Chains A and B, each alone.
Chain A
């Protein structure tokens, strides 16, 4: 059992941090508010990391955490989720290679209108990441025809379909709803094990990104507490602020550790992995909630303004908490496992 980062992982984190700090400043997030194509130059940098999508989940999660920290727009999460599903399906080697090479993007449609990320027979697919801009879409559906009851349909160029953009508070992320009608063609059967493996990996991936966003809120609050003075001293010298930050960092640290553990169980195909991934997403949700609420409080009035950058990360954290199951949904799944 070793939670320390290898030299390669350390290098990955440092490289990612450097590139993302330069290429994804808050300025880009603001430009993206008005023009959703502003992510394109950033994608030219992040696509170079697409190989991580079919590599070790630990490495991928370290990178996703950094992406969350800068609230990067663009199809990286969508594409690596797509890659994860393709790997589990063991389908279309050429496509998998192209995705890993960062040449082709993709996304996965799972949730129906009910907003539950489990195979379902709803003809409307909702909360689909970046559907307008990716090259391929994998649609997961429930069927009565197969052993597992799960099938996947691969469709090219989903942007050409009649998509409906879903507006959320998170202006850094693009979500869509699509009424598939009877457009879905031939489907590939997906075994229960393959679906489970994909879902586990997806949960910890989103958790990793969410922890990154929470960490950004925390980092900004901590820096502000050290620099803002009232009553002749830094507000960070007041115990009420200190104890808030201590609790914020605790929940953040335990979520980070939970993500690392879950990613390791995924890589090891450990029997504990489904549980660990639910824990990771729920803990990340707790970290996000706590840090976004209290980071605003610590900023006082300036944090409540559109002009200050904090709200960009607040939004990212809020939106991501609801992707691939809100914390309460993961608690329910955890309870199912605990209660047998």
Chain B
């Protein structure tokens, strides 16, 4: 066990710091506070789009990738330092995540040569992608998806519906999971298609978040013709690709959530002082308990990273998403509690920073649902980490 980073790693951090000092956009801090709710068209914030391109051009978008993919071939530890440093400075990384975080790594692993040519633009953010997984009857049980794709000559004809599709209103391409063999067992009849969003037969109906922002949509497919060349990976082999994300960054996915929690603890301290509750022992203890969680989760994240770097499976990762999203929710709720009667007030003249706490509270609900709900995470921990038998 070793507390400090090595010299090479500290040099890497210094280089990054110099880059950020020079280039980081002034709007960064505000963007980090209200992530995903910063306003803008369908969730896309113009200055963030520019920033993503700047990161790419300087090899700081995915540092673990080679330069032509917006990186600099750095080590896993340096990737962790990178994520840590961005989070510490409250600098968001991208205007839209599906392209760089999901599409790019999946295409690099499973795509043919032509498909892999889509990768740089996905990472740089030039192409906006959306992910078509969830359907009205296939959420946590993703393998139950029903959107059909039938082979007819050189095209797949797609019929069905996706839902909760983030960025669908602005995306030009969709990573779309479809059923290609309705007779096979449910995990074995799924394929992945690249669908151009301007193909005739696609209808996008925006859905509004509980916060009032319209960031995701329903997507309807009626006889949509997709060239067979847009099949990614093997026919009926799409299930394996649903697990795709930046494998080498997975060990650092927690960094952002924990940094946010840390910042919320500091904001809670300030709020308690402003509201004169900083001498209330109950309030002090509640905030300290939140700090205990944030701090111990950070340690757990690093511990998981250590197992990952050694090539062993890291059960710690399974805990991090659930724990940081649940703690996040509780931390904003605590803020509302400190506001007393003003907890629900969003009136800009009266409410604490125009309802900042209640808004963040609502936004944080998404984190315990999307990308595998907390309940699903607990199932995974119980069955895959603790080795308990599957239920019936």
Contact = CB atoms under 8 A, between A and B. Distances in A.
Interface stretch (B146-154, B165-173, B316-324): B316-324
Residue in B5, B293, B305 whose Cβ sees the most chain A Cβ within 10 Å? B293
Contacts of B272: 339
B392 interface: yes
B296 A237 contact: no
Chain A's interface size range is 35 or more
Contacts of A258: 292, 295-296, 299-300
A282 B300 CA distance: 15
Contacts of A246: 377-379, 381-382, 385-386
A222 B386 CA distance: 8
Given A242-B378, A254-B323, A249 B303 contact: no
B203 interface: no
A283 B289 CA distance: 9
B298 to A, nearest CB: 8
A242 B306 contact: no
Q: Interface SS of chain B: helix, strand, loop or mixed?
A: helix
A58 interface: yes
Contacts of A275: 295
Interface residues of B, number: 54
Interface stretch (A1-9, A68-76, A151-159, A176-184): A1-9
Contact of A9 (B1, B299, B323, B379): B1
Contact of A331 (B269, B292, B298): B292
A255 B1 contact: no
A170 to B, nearest CB: 24
A3 B386 contact: no
Given A255-B296, A267-B3, A334-B292, A233 B392 contact: yes
Interface string A252-284: 011111101101110110100001100110110
Given A279-B292, A282-B289, A261 B392 contact: no
A139 interface: no
Interface in A225-261: 225-226, 233-234, 236-239, 241-243, 245-247, 249-250, 253-258, 260-261
Given A3-B1, A6-B1, A261-B295, 15 more contacts: A1-B4, A225-B388, A238-B391, A242-B391, A246-B378, A249-B386, A253-B303, A257-B303, A275-B295, A276-B295, A279-B296, A282-B289, A283-B292, A332-B288, A338-B288
Give me the 5 closest cross-chain CB pairs, A-B, nearest first.
A242-B382, A335-B284, A257-B299, A258-B296, A261-B299
Interface of B: 1-5, 77, 80, 265, 269, 272-273, 278, 281, 284-285, 287-289, 291-293, 295-300, 302-303, 305-307, 309-310, 315-316, 319, 322-323, 375, 377-379, 381-383, 385-392
